[in-house]
Amino acid sequence: MIDEIRSILSQIGEDPARDGLLNTPKRVDRSLRFLTSGYRMNPDELLNGALFDVAYDEMVIVRDIEVFSLCEHHLLPFFGKCHVGYIPNGRVIGLSKIPRLVDMYARRLQVQERLTTQIAETINEKNHPRGVAVVIEAQHHCMIMRGVENQNSIAVTSAMFGAFKDNQNTRNEFLNLVRIPK
């Protein structure tokens, strides 16, 4: 991508040959590959060996997972917090795998809605819990930097399956524990 990035620098009116920009194409290439490294990972590989038979059937919550992603419409960052909850059905997911699953989908070009759904669907399909809930609260640079709408607005998206969808008490318990106003 290095040649293409150099060409973009020219097209925005810069001189790619000046000192400060000399290594920029190489850096952008590297950072863009990192920020999209989720394409080269898959959930089976990630969760391999991390599903454990455990007799625990209460809600498990991993709260305040940092999310950094790129919006697919502008290639600008959006970032915030992700909260994941699920109710195991005889099997739990290694706790450290949940933030890694969030990262895997966040490190792709995304819209916040799809990112939220993909995390919930993957946990649902791979672990077959009694229910799963994912909430993401994020700020989008394409709104903040381009002066669109309210600069402080936060987009909140959620995806719920099973008990979280069917049972209002379960859903409320989750939302209280992650401090999302109902």
For the annotated catalytic residues, the residue numbers are: 71-74, 112, 140, 142
# binding residues, Zn ion (CB under 5 A)? 4
- Of 26 and 73, the one with the shorter C-beta distance to Zn ion is 73
Q: Is 142 in the site for Zn ion (CB under 5 A)?
A: yes
Q: Which residue reads 């305040």 in tokens?
A: 64
Considering only CA atoms, which of 165, 170, 148, 144 is closest in space to residue 79?
Answer: 144
Q: Is 144 in the site for Zn ion (CB under 5 A)?
A: no
- Of 78 and 164, the one with the shorter C-beta distance to Zn ion is 78
d(CA 23, CA 144) in angstroms, rounded, equals 28
Q: Please report, as a single letter, which amino acid is at residue 126.
A: K
Question: Among 59, 65, 71, 82, which residue interacts with Zn ion (rule: CB under 5 A)?
Answer: 71
Q: Is 146 in the site for Zn ion (CB under 5 A)?
A: no
H or E element in which residue 45 lies: helix 43-47
d(CA 117, CA 157) in angstroms, rounded, equals 9
- Of 74 and 114, the one with the shorter C-beta distance to Zn ion is 74
Radius of gyration of the chain (CA): 19
Residue nearest Zn ion (C-beta atom):
142
Q: Please report, as a single letter, which amino acid is at residue 165.
A: K
Q: Is 74 in the site for Zn ion (CB under 5 A)?
A: yes
Smallest separation (angstroms) from Zn ion to the CB of 38: 18
Number of neighbouring beta carbons within 10 Å of residue 44: 9
Smallest separation (angstroms) from Zn ion to the CB of 149: 12
- Of 123 and 136, the one with the shorter C-beta distance to Zn ion is 136
Q: Is 73 in the site for Zn ion (CB under 5 A)?
A: yes
Q: Which residue reads 């150099």 in tokens?
A: 6
Site residues, Zn ion (CB under 5 A): 71, 73-74, 142
